[in-house]
Amino acid sequence: MMSNKLKLGFGICGSFCTHAQMLCVMEQLSEKYDIYPVLSEISSSTDTRFGSKEDLKRKIEDLTKRSIITSIKDAEPLGPVTKLDAMLICPCTGNTLAKFAHGITDSAVTMASKATARCGKPVILSLASNDALGANLQNIGLLYNKKNVYFVPVSQDDSVKKPYSLVCDFSKVEETVALALQGEQIQPFLK
C-alpha cells in the first residue's frame, strides 16, 4: 500500500528527559507524514530514570508502524535509495549538533541527516542541549547559516541553574517542519 504522505526521517538522540515530549510530537506528525524513525545508539541501548529502552522502542514502532533504524549501515539508504522529503532530529543533543556541524558521521542519526542533506532536502534540528550557549554556540551559528538546515525555536529552560542550556519549543516542531519544506526558517528562532 503506497502512502501519499511526505516522507519524514525522525532522528532521536539521548536527551532522555525530553523523550516524553518527543513522543507527543511524533504522534502529532505521524498524522501528516510517513515517519522513518532513526534512534541513536545510546537511546537504543540505555535504560534511564525516564523509561526503559524497550518501552521507548515499542512506543516509536507503534506510532510509526515501522522498524527503527539503529545503525549507520541501515541509515545510509535514507538519502539515495529511500528519498526522504526532510529529516527531523528531535531531540538534537549538543553532541549530535557538533557532529552534524563538522561532518562527523558516526551514528545512525548523523548518517540519516547527512544522507538527507546530500540530496538537498531540509534537516530540522530540535535542540535539547545543556551546552548550547557554551561550547556549542559556534556550531549553532555555523548551521544557522547553512543551506537547508532549520531550527525549531529555542529558549533557556533554566537560566539560573543551567545558564548554557537551550531547549526547543516542542509545540513549534510541526510548524517548523512545514516551513522548512518551503525553504523558510521559522521566526523568532530565539524566544
| Per-residue pLDDT tens digits for 46-70 | 878 888 889 999 999 999 999 999 9
* In the chain, % of residues over pLDDT 90: 84
- Is the model's pLDDT at 124 over the cut of 70? yes
Residue 70 contacts residue 37 (beta carbons within 8 Å): no
**Would 159 be classed as within a structural domain?**
yes
Confidence of residue 2 (pLDDT cuts 50, 70, 90): low
- pLDDT at position 52: 84
**Would 116 be classed as within a structural domain?**
yes
The CA distance from 25 to 96, in Å, is 19
Cell numbers at 139, concatenated = 556550531
Q: What is the pTM of this model?
A: 0.94
- Is the model's pLDDT at 1 over the cut of 90? no
**Would 190 be classed as within a structural domain?**
no
**Would 28 be classed as within a structural domain?**
yes
**Would 118 be classed as within a structural domain?**
yes
CATH number at residue 57: 3.40.50.1950
Kindly list the distances between the CA atom of residue 72 and the CA atoms of 9, 40, 69, 106, 158, in Å, as whole numbers in the listed order: 14, 10, 8, 7, 34
> Among 42-51, 111-120, 150-159, 169-178, whose mean pLDDT is lowest?
42-51
Mean pLDDT of 115-144: 95
> What pLDDT, in 10s, does the model give residues 83-108?
999 999 999 999 999 999 999 999 99
- Of the candidates 55, 128, 54, the one whose C-alpha atom is nearest the C-alpha of residue 91 is 128
- Is the model's pLDDT at 174 over the cut of 90? yes
The phi and psi torsions of 94 (rounded to 5 degrees) equal -60, -35
Domain residue limits at 101: 6-180
- pLDDT at position 141: 95
The CA distance from 118 to 114, in Å, is 6
**Would 19 be classed as within a structural domain?**
yes
**Would 191 be classed as within a structural domain?**
no
Per the structure, the count of domains in the chain is: 1
**Would 51 be classed as within a structural domain?**
yes
Mean pLDDT of 159-180: 96
